[in-house]
A and B are shown apart, each in its own frame.
Chain A
Amino acid sequence: LAKTTQPISMDSYEGQEVNITCSHNNIATNDYITWYQQFPSQGPRFIIQGYKTKVTNEVASLFIPADRKSSTLSLPRVSLSDTAVYYCLVGVSNDYKLSFGAGTTVTVRA
C-alpha cells in the first residue's frame, strides 16, 4: 500500500471547518483514497472514499487534485462530537489489507 503522511494533531473550535491533508506521493493508478474516523475505545468507522476530483456525502467532502499525490478531508461546521482520530488510507479495491498509520487527532473545543 502507498505510504501516507498526515499531521499528528489539529485543534479547532465548534462551528469551524476542519481540513486534514494527507500526502501520498507514491499513489498508484488503481489506488483509491479512503478516510476512517475512530473514537476512543471504538472501532474505526468509514467516512468517505474517492478516486479523483471531489466526493461529498452527508458527513464530509474529499478533495483530490489532478496529480492525486495528496487529498484533503473537509469536515464542515465541526462539533465537540467530531473529536476523534482520522485515518487516511490508500490502496487498491481488491487489496484486503487495510494499513492504518498513526492518524490525525482532531480536537474540537467549545
Chain B
Amino acid sequence: ETGVTQSPTHLIKTRGQQVTLRCSSQSGHNTVSWYQQALGQGPQFIFQYYREEENGRGNFPPRFSGLQFPNYSSELNVNALELDDSALYLCASSSGSGWNEQFFGPGTRLTVL
C-alpha cells in the first residue's frame, strides 16, 4: 500500500510569485486535506477536497486555491506569495469526508524570499 506522497520536497520562491504543490493520496482514499505549518506551530487547516469538490475551508485568503483530480490526487496553488507563506505544507488523505483518521505526507517546505 503506497502512502501519501508530496512534491516537491523543498521549494524556494520570491515574493509575488505563484506556486503549485502536489499530493498523491493513499490508495483507496478519496479525501485530501491541506495544512500549513509555520515553524514552531501546529498545522493549520487550509481546505479539504472530497470527490473532486471543495468540502470546507479554513481561514485562508482566496489566493490559496486547490484542485482534486479523478484519481484523487490534489494540487495546492498559492498566488501572489508573501513572506509569511513560508512554511511546511502538509497534505493528508482519508477515506470519506469528515474527521476520519488522516494520513499525512512528508510535506513540502516552501521558502519565500
Taking beta carbons and an 8 Å cutoff, which residues of A are in contact with B?
32, 41-46, 49, 85, 87, 91-103
| Nearest-neighbor residue (CB-CB) of B43 within chain A | A100
Q: Which of B63-113 contact A (CB under 8 A)?
A: 88, 90-92, 97-107, 109
| Nearest-neighbor residue (CB-CB) of B104 within chain A | A43
| Nearest-neighbor residue (CB-CB) of A100 within chain B | B42
Q: Which residues of B contact A46 (CB under 8 A)?
A: 101-103
Taking beta carbons and an 8 Å cutoff, which residues of B are in contact with A?
4, 31, 33, 35, 40-45, 48, 50, 55-56, 58, 88, 90-92, 97-107, 109
The A/B interface has a contact count, at CB < 8 Å, of 69
Name A's interface SS.
loop
Q: Which residues of A contact B4 (CB under 8 A)?
A: 43
A98 in contact with B99 given A42-B106, A43-B4, A43-B90 (CB within 8 Å):
yes
Question: Do A96 and B98 have beta carbons less than 8 Å apart?
Answer: yes
